[in-house]
Amino acid sequence: MNIAVSAAGASLASPVFEEFSKTPFLLIVNVETMECTSIPHDKSGKNSEIALAEMILKHRCEALITGKLEEDVFKILADDHVTRFFGPGLSAEEALMAMERRELKLIRNPEGTDECNENHHELEELQVCSGHQH
């Protein structure tokens, strides 16, 4: 299973970055092997955060650990059933372990909080917001 992490650096020791669109690196981590692929984020490109979201889908990541998400990125990930977790304040490795222990808050809206987003009516979001996580 692959998990994506927006990170300040290219390793698992790097802190989780607080804003997805400005993250310096996207880490793709195979949680069974802890093999980490580091993808530098070219922030100069138009819609670069959408390209990062598409990279998450390309690598078939089941979850993203990050902070604030842009509305369009949030929708891309939510529509593809990628679970979003809030992890700033932890290293990528600590965040992955906290996710495994179910200690990370879900990102239920683009601001990176666990408040339900009433504008997003996807089935998964409605289930999560009503307390029925899968």
Q: pLDDT per residue over 6-44, tens digit each? A: 999 999 999 999 999 999 999 999 999 999 999 999 877
Enclosing H/E stretch for 27: strand 25-30
Give Cα separations from 86 to 44, 47, 111 (angstroms): 25, 22, 10
Higher pLDDT, 93 or 110: 93
Q: What is the pTM of this model?
A: 0.83
- Give per-residue pLDDT as tens, 21-30: 999 999 999 9
DSSP 125: H
Q: Percent of the chain having pLDDT more than 70?
A: 80
Buried b (16+ CB within 10 A) or exposed e, 100-111: eeeebebbbbbe
